Amino acid sequence: MNQIIDRPGVNTDAAKGKGERTRERILEIAEQAVLQKGFGATSIEEIICEAEITKSGFFYHFKDKNELARALLLRHIDQDEIILDQVFNRGQELTDDPLQQFLIGLKMLAELVEDLPNGHPGCLIAVYCYQERLFDQEVRQLNQQAVLGWRDRFRTILDRVVVQYPPNEPVDLDELADMVSTVVEGGIVMSKALGRPQMLANQIMLLRSFVKLLFAKQAG
């Protein structure tokens, strides 16, 4: 009695209809391809070949490539949201100190990306904003909202931090919140460029050092 839940839209994997599973398979294959070659260079042909469906089958699920792009992004954003929730909520369970919560979250994030067997596969948000001309306004706005969502998330944490820990250097909290995204995006690029997956984790830990220095109470 493993799969009892059967609410439409909130299905477990096994409870999904066949169409939904095929759609998911297409998205999974497409995401990998897009992260390795870019959106424009990813052909529908290769996707359907790997997914073992026909071209008609593909266009049954997505009316054109743009709709694939949108679906990919939505899926990616959702998955990121889940991961970040897990990581930073865990910090809240372990301590009441907001600074420690943030530091724990960053550490866990670093460990999480370090444990990825082949390194971080890449972030669709970065892919999309380096290929903006390929997408319509709606997709671009989605991208923007995702980034702003990250900012809000970390800004909320930082707002609680500064109550107890006045920063040792004047700093804009929105910009500091954005720095988490910056270091993750930049770290992924560096990891990919050098083929050294560990770099992303290292850079996140460096950011963590910065946060520590910024908020740690000075001696004296």
Partner DNA sequence: GAAAAACTGTACCGGCGGTAGGGTAATGTG
Partner DNA sequence: CACATTACCCTACCGCCGGTACAGTTTTTC
Choice between 66 and 202, CB closer to DNA: 66
d(CA 120, CA 214): 28
Q: Does position 178 bind its own copies by CB under 8 A? A: yes
Q: Does position 133 bind its own copies by CB under 8 A? A: yes
CA nearest neighbour of 59 among 17, 51, 166 = 51
Q: Does position 179 bind its own copies by CB under 8 A? A: yes
d(CA 113, CA 204): 10
Asked if 207 and 106 touch (Cβ cutoff 8 Å), the reply is: yes
Burial 179-216 (b: 16+ CB within 10 A, else e): bbbebbbebbbebbeeeebebbbebbbebbeebeebbe
Radius of gyration of the chain (CA): 20
Q: Does position 61 bind DNA by CB under 7 A? A: yes
d(CA 71, CA 69): 6
Least distance between its own copies and beta carbon 73 (Å): 12
Which residue of 30, 31, 35, 65 would you call a contact of DNA, by CB under 7 A? 65
Asked if 158 and 179 touch (Cβ cutoff 8 Å), the reply is: no
Choice between 59 and 210, CB closer to DNA: 59
Residue 177's Cα: distance from chain center in Å? 15
Which residue of 39, 58, 88, 102 would you call a contact of its own copies, by CB under 8 A? 39
Q: Does position 54 bind DNA by CB under 7 A? A: yes
Which residue of 44, 108, 129, 179 would you call a contact of DNA, by CB under 7 A? 44
For residue 154, how many other CB atoms are within 10 A of its CB? 22
With CB under 8 A as the contact rule, which of the stretches 11-19, 68-76, 109-117, 144-152 interacts with its own copies?
A: 144-152
Q: Does position 11 bind its own copies by CB under 8 A? A: no
How many Å is the maximal CA-CA distance in the chain? 71
Which residues in this chain contact its own copies in the complex, by CB under 8 A? 35-42, 122, 125-134, 143-144, 147-148, 168-169, 171-172, 175-176, 178-179, 181-187, 189-190, 192-195, 199, 202-203, 206, 209-210, 212-214, 218-220
Which residues in this chain contact DNA in the complex, by CB under 7 A? 17-20, 22-23, 42-46, 52-57, 59-61, 63-66
